[in-house]
Chains A and B, each alone.
Chain A
Amino acid sequence: MNVDELVRDALRDQAEGQPPAAPGFADRVLAVRRRRRSRRLASAAAAAVAVVAVAVAVPMLDSGKQDVRPSGGVEQTSVTARPDQSPPRDVIAADRVALAAYYTSRNVERSADRAVSERTYWLLNPKTKKYEKADRWSYVAVAPGLVTAAVLERDLPVRRIGLLDLASGEVKRWIPVDRPVAGVEFSPDGTKLVATTYSQSPDQRVKIEGSDDWDALFMKSYRTGFHVIDVASGRSSWAEVKVGSGPDDPGTFLNSRQDFGFSGDGRLVWSGLPSEPGKRFYDVAGKEVAPPARERHRDWGVEAGVSPDGALVAGQFAGKKWKTSSWILDSRTGKARTEVRGQQLLAWADGDSLVAWDIGPDGNEFHQRLALVTMGSDKVVPLSGFRSPDDTKGRWEPVFAQR
C-alpha cells in the first residue's frame, strides 16, 4: 500500500464516521448571519424603540390622578435637521417622530473571558431641546410625547423600573417588579409598559477561543418572559415564555437580547425570532396567538415596522433602484409595493416618509447618517451628520419616539 492510498482510506473512513448535520442547521446559519448583519449595519434591532402609533397620550408621573395627558414636550414642526452634528447635540425631528435619545455601547470587562456590553444614553431634554448625558441608566424607553422615559439602572437585570421626568432628570416614581427585567418598551398610547424578564444579563459578552473580539452569547438565552405593567397604577402581570427546547423549535435560536414589544394596537405582545417564522405574538397571559393581519409581514429586524395607517410595512434592504434602498411592503399581502431610498428604515415620519440610515456620496456602506426618505421621491433630506464607521464610542444608536 502507498501512503496516498492510506491517506485516502483514512480520510474516507473518518468522513463516513461523521453523523449527519443537525436538523435546523440552515436556521442556525441564518440566525447567526442575521445577528452579525444587524450588528454590522446599524443598531441592534431588538433594542429599537421606534414607536409607531396613532393615538398619543402620556402617563402622568404622579400616581393616583387621572393618568393621561396629551403630548406636548417638543413643539411639532415638520423637519428639524442637524446635518452637521454626529452625535447630535440639538433635537432632530421629522413630522411625527423625534430622535428621543441615542446611546453608545462599550464592553466592560468583568474577567479575562467575560464582559458586559453597557450603554450610555443621551436623552432629549424637552425644555432645552438638547441631548443630555444620563449615564446612570443601562436601558431607556421614551414614552410618546417625549416627556417621560422608563429607565433601568445599571447591572441588569434589575427589579425596579423608574419613571423619569425628562425635563428635570428626576425619577418621579419607581415601579417594583417581581422578576428581574433588562428591557422595557411603552405601549403606543403610553399607558402600559412591557418589560422583558431575564434571569441573567442579556448583554453578557464572552471571548470565543481564537477570537480577540467580545461576542454575544451564541444560542444561549436567559429570557424568561415579560411583565405587562399599567403605568398609572403600577400593577403588573407576568407571563412566562419558555425558550424553545430543541432544534425543531424556532424559539430555541434566540439572540441573547431578544426583547418583547407591543403590537400596533397595544393589545398583544410580540418578539422577533432569528429564524422562521421570524416572530411570535402573545396575549398578555403569554399564550401564543396568531399575528394581527397588519403585522403578519412585519420584520423584527426593520425597526420602522407598520406605517401610521397600517397599510404598509417597512421591509428589508432592496438595493435595486439605488445602491442603498429598502422595500415598502403591503402589510396584508407582504408583496413589495415600492422601493424607497434608505439603507435601513428606522421610523415612519408620516404616511409616506421615513427616517432611515443612509449612506452619503462616498458610497461607504458603514458611513451612515440619519436621513428622511420619501416614497415616490428621489429626495433624501439629511437629518444628522455621518456616524463613525468604526465600532467605537463614536458610533451612536438612535432611539425614536412619537412627538
Chain B
Amino acid sequence: MDAEAQESFREFVANRSSALLKTAVLLSGGDRHAGEDLLQNALIKAAGRWHRIDEPEAYVRQILYRQQVSRWRLKWPRRELSVAELPETGTAPDASGAAELRLVMRGALARLTARQRTVLVLRYFEDLPEAEVARILGCSVGTVRSATHRSLARLRALAPELTALGPAADEQRPSLDYSPVEVRQ
C-alpha cells in the first residue's frame, strides 16, 4: 500500500467507519467489541486490495456480511446459544409500549444465529431487495426468502410478545426453498 493509497484509505475510514460500525454492531447482535473486530477484519481485507476497489463502501459491506456468515459457519460453531427463555427484562413489558417492544426485539435479535441476523439486517436495516441480498451472500433468492421466513419465526419463538404482531410481507409469500437455514436448536 503506497502513501497515496494509505491516505485515501484513512480518509475513507474517517468518513465511513461510524456508519459501517453501526452495521457491524447490528450483525454482531449488539456486541460493540465483536462489531469492532468484524469491521476491523473487513477493513484489513479491503486495505489489501485498496487500489483495485472501485466502490470501497460496497466492497467493505459485502465483506462484513460474508465474513459474518462464514465466521459463524467456520469458526464459532458454538459461540451463540439458542435460548428458549425470554431475555431478562425485569418486569413484563407493556406490549403497547413501542420502546419496550423494541427492547424485546433487540434481545431476541441478539439470540439469533449470525446468519439469521445477517439476513434480517440486510432486508430490514439496509432495506435491500431479496435479489440483492442473495447476490451479496452468494446464495439463491429462494434461500434468502426461506432464511428470512425462518428468522422471523425464530424471533416469535424467542419472544412470545411478538406473536400479536402481524406477519411481515415476506412471510405472506411462499418460500420456494426449504433448505435448512439453521440446523442447531
Chain A residues at the B interface, C-beta cutoff of 8 Å: 1-16, 18, 20-21, 25-30, 32-33, 36, 210-211, 276, 316
Contact = CB atoms under 8 A, between A and B. Distances in A.
B25 A3 contact: no
Nearest to B25: A18
9 contacts: A2-B167, A4-B123, A4-B169, A5-B168, A9-B105, A14-B26, A18-B22, A26-B12, A28-B40
B69 interface: no
Given A4-B124, A21-B18, 15 more contacts: A3-B156, A3-B162, A3-B165, A3-B171, A4-B123, A4-B168, A6-B162, A7-B109, A8-B124, A9-B102, A26-B9, A29-B43, A33-B48, A36-B44, A210-B79
B181 interface: no
B92 interface: no
B157 interface: no
A32 B40 CA distance: 9
A14 B25 contact: yes
B52 to A, nearest CB: 12
Nearest to B163: A3
Contact of B26 (A11, A36, A316): A11
Contact of B102 (A10, A33, A211): A10
A16 B19 CA distance: 10
Contacts of A32: 40, 44
A4 B2 CA distance: 45
A129 B169 CA distance: 78
A11 B121 contact: yes
B180 interface: no
Contact of B17 (A14, A25, A30): A25
Contact of B32 (A6, A12, A18, A36): A18
Nearest to A10: B105
A251 to B, nearest CB: 18
Contacts of A316: 2
B125 interface: yes
A21 B105 contact: no
